[in-house]
Amino acid sequence: MGKITLRQLRYFDALAEHGHFGRAAEACAVSQPALSVQIKELEDALGCILCERMPRQVRLTTLGREFLKRTRDILRAVDELEDVSRAAQDHWVGELRIGVIPTIAPYLLPRIVQELAGSFPGAEIHMRETMTSNLIRELVDGRIDTAILALPISDPALTEVPLFDEEFVLVRPEADKDKPVPNREGLREMRLLLLEEGHCFRDQALSFCDMQSTNPRETLDGSALSTLVQMVGAGMGVTLIPDMAVGVETRSAPVTVSRFDAPKPSRTIGMLWRASSPLAKQFQQMAECVKRAAKD
C-alpha cells in the first residue's frame, strides 16, 4: 500500500458528499483536475476502486462506502486534535463552521454573524443552511462545528443548549383580518399550507394542530416560508410562520398576522455541538452571542 495523505482523505470526503467532481472541487477550493488526480492517487495507493465515474455523477463502490466511514472517523479525530489546540487559546483562530436551519437563517444570520465577528475576531465564519437531519449528520461527521436549530434533538453524542423560545403566528389573507382567530380544532378544518417534508417546522405545525397525517386536498406544501406567505396572499389557504419571520415575509404580501390564545404554538431554538469537543467553553460563549443577536 502506498502513502495516503490527509488531503486525499478530505478530497474523497468532499467527493462522497457532493457526488460530483466539479462540485467537490469547488467545495475544496481547488481545480477539478487537481482533485481528480488526488482521488486517483488515493485509489492507486489502496490498490482498489473507490468510486464509479458516471457522466453526471459519482457513485461510491461497496468498498468506497466502507472506506468513507473510516475516512470520516479519521478526519473527525484530526479536527478534534486541532480543537484541543484552539481550546488552549484565549481566542478563536481559524475556520468556524456553523449550520443553521432554513426557518432561522434568513432572519437571524446577519445579526448572528455580526455578533460573532465582534466577539471572535480571529474566526473565519462559514455558514451552512440546510435541514435539521442534514445538520445533525454533518455535525456528527465533523463537517460543521456547531448548529443552530429547533430543540430537542436528544442525541447523546451531541450537547444541546436552549437559547430562546419563539411563538408561531397565523398568517391569513387580508380579507380575514376581522375574523376570530381559530383554535387548533378550527385550523384542522382550514386549508393549511406547510413546508415540504423534511422541515422540522412542518412537523411542529402539524403537532400543534394535532394532525398526524395530511390530506392533499386540504393542504399544500411549499419549499420556503416566503412561498407559503405569497400563497396565502393569493387566497390559497392559511399558514403558520415563526415570529422572527413576520417582518421579512409579510411586508410585500396582502396578508394579515394574528396571534393565538393559550396554549400558544412555539418552538425552542438552541445550539448543538459534539459532546466530545474540547471547545465547549467557546461554544457556550457563542451561544450567548446568538442570544444577544436574537434580542436585537
Task: Indicate the domain borders of the chain.
Answer: 6-84, 91-164+268-295, 165-267
CB contact burial 11-21 (16+ within 10 A = b; e otherwise): bbbbbbbbebb
Angle between helices 32-46 and 21-28 (to 10 degrees): 100
Residue 27 CA to residue 7 CA, distance in Å, equals 13
Other beta carbons within 10 angstroms of residue 237's beta carbon come to 19
CA-to-CA dists, residue 212 to 117, 203, 208, 222, angstroms: 42, 9, 10, 18
Asked whether the beta carbons of 61 and 19 are under 8 A apart, the reply is: no
Residue 240 CA to residue 212 CA, distance in Å, equals 16
Asked whether the beta carbons of 171 and 232 are under 8 A apart, the reply is: yes
Residue 277 CA to residue 99 CA, distance in Å, equals 16
Looking at the domain 165-267, which fold is it? D-Maltodextrin-Binding Protein; domain 2 (3.40.190)
Give yes or no on whether 6-84 and 165-267 have one common fold: no
CATH number of this structure's domain 91-164+268-295, picked from the four choices 3.40.50.620, 3.40.190.10, 3.90.700.10, 3.40.718.10: 3.40.190.10
Asked whether the beta carbons of 222 and 193 are under 8 A apart, the reply is: yes
Specify the amino acid at residue 227. Answer: T
Q: What is the pLDDT of residue 162?
A: 97
pTM, two decimal places: 0.77
CATH 1.10.10.10 fits 6-84, yes or no: yes
Residues near 190 by Cβ (< 8 Å), separated by ≥ 6? 182, 218, 237, 238
C-alpha cell at 228: 407559503
Each residue's pLDDT, cut to its tens digit, for the chain (296 residues) gives: 678 999 999 999 999 999 999 999 998 989 999 999 999 999 999 999 999 998 888 999 999 999 999 998 898 888 877 777 676 666 677 889 999 999 999 999 999 999 999 999 988 999 999 999 999 999 988 889 999 999 999 999 999 999 999 999 999 999 999 999 998 888 888 999 999 888 898 888 888 887 765 454 455 678 899 999 999 999 999 999 999 999 999 998 999 999 998 888 999 999 999 998 888 889 999 999 999 999 87
Q: What is the pLDDT of residue 158?
A: 95
Q: What is the pLDDT of residue 26?
A: 92
